[in-house]
Amino acid sequence: MIRAALLALTVLLLPRVAFAGETATVPKGAFVLDEGFLQSDLDARWDGDRKSAPLIDSIVRYEPGGGLQGTITANPAVRFRLLITKLYYGLTDNWMLAVAVPMVLSTHIDANLGWTAGDYQATLGRRYSERDFWQWAGSLGQPKPASTWTGNKGQLADMIVGTRYRLPRVGVLKRLGLDVAGTLLVALPTGREADPEALLAAGTNTWELHSYGDVEAHVAVDRPFFKTGNISRLSLGLDAYYAYFRPRTYTAPKGTLNPLLLDAQPYVGDHYTIDPGDWWVATALVELTPFIGPARSSFISHHSLAVAEGYPALVQVQLGYSHIHCNPTTWKSDSALWDYQHDALWLDGDKNMLRAQLTVSLLRLGLPLQLYGEYHNQSIIPGKYTRAANTLSAGARIIAKFW
């Protein structure tokens, strides 16, 4: 029996999808529409020794009652492409609401399967070749897996609704020059699970994307420095948050399509439960303003040059580091061995993410538009018992006020 190791393909990490700027809020009565394209790539994981490894282990096959047939190797690569729509609204200058709608454009998986021949087989007069093995598996109803899979086109991931409140900068906060904000995010169950009978498949809910929790509570602090007018040349920030993942019940694969590779149901029961490990996260941020740019009076500043000079700088750069501690994940089924094998992939671990963002704001020039590009990397600094996904995104924000 070949264990269902390929289920590990369904996990990758996407970047933050709800807010930009850990203490920033939208002015009262204003709307911000943010439309962004995101691509996330994953082809490695960090093991318990903080070493890079393929997403799944090799699968060793033995001849029934005989020697080693060979080893199925794989080095899968996963790519997600999403269109993420975010809408913010300012209830007051310090309190805003937000919703994020992640739409998956496509998910593509390259299995990169291979074969390493095993022992000499007297019945064959040679060692099993890859063709020999899959012919043997085919005689038992197991087809050779497809080399690639593309799916999830037009499928929603879990939507996010949230709110942020920034404390008024008065009293001790004013004396220290600090901005302090709290953020609450809640994911709605609009995503879907991967097909339990498919070897190459990926779901779109919070657990399978492993990007954001079902509920998150943030506390953030920013300290601006070296101001030119109302614009700071440098800002240092910290964001700490807790992400809760709710337990999920999945349907066990019955082997209807892959009787040798995915036939867990006789052992684990009709269903199994995953109790995901929650996250504890700390992020340090540096925001630089290399170019403030000219200011022009326009309709968006009510033809006031003084108002336009208070708008964000033309160019801003944000650099950040996040340490994400992931609590262990627990699998529960009728098979203690199956649970143990899956628990071993999700022991107490962590991720280390570097990020860089460039924002070009045209508000000072009279256009209610911001353009941005962002890169997130988890493969430079080793983690532990986590997947090392890297993402690249770009988008535009339109600012509007109707009353």
DSSP code, position 253: P
Total residue length of the chain = 403
Q: What is the domain partition of the chain in residue ranges?
A: 5-55+76-107+150-401
* Spatial separation of the C-alpha atoms in residues 374 and 372, rounded to whole Å: 7
Query: Contact 82/105 with Cβ under 8 angstroms?
Result: yes
* Topology annotation, domain 5-55+76-107+150-401: Porin (2.40.160)
CB-based burial, 117-141: b 16+ in 10 Å, e otherwise: bbeebeeeeeebeeebbbeebeeee
Task: Locate 275 and state its tokens.
Answer: 């109790």
Burial grade of 198 (CB within 10 A; 0-12, 13-18, 19 or more): buried
Q: What percent of the chain has pLDDT over 90?
A: 71
269-323 pLDDT per residue, tens: 999 999 999 999 999 999 999 999 999 988 888 888 888 888 889 999 999 999 9
What are the mean pLDDT values of the chain's consecutive 10-residue runs (403 residues total)? Answer: 42 47 88 96 93 89 84 92 96 96 95 92 87 90 91 95 94 91 96 91 89 95 86 92 96 92 92 95 95 89 86 93 96 95 92 96 92 96 94 95 79
Cβ contacts of 334 within 8 Å, gap of 6 or more: 267, 268, 269
155-195 pLDDT per residue, tens: 999 999 999 999 998 999 999 989 999 999 999 999 999 99
Query: Cα-flanking dihedrals φ and ψ of residue 40, to 5°?
Result: -120, 130
Cα 147 vs. chain centroid, distance in angstroms?
24
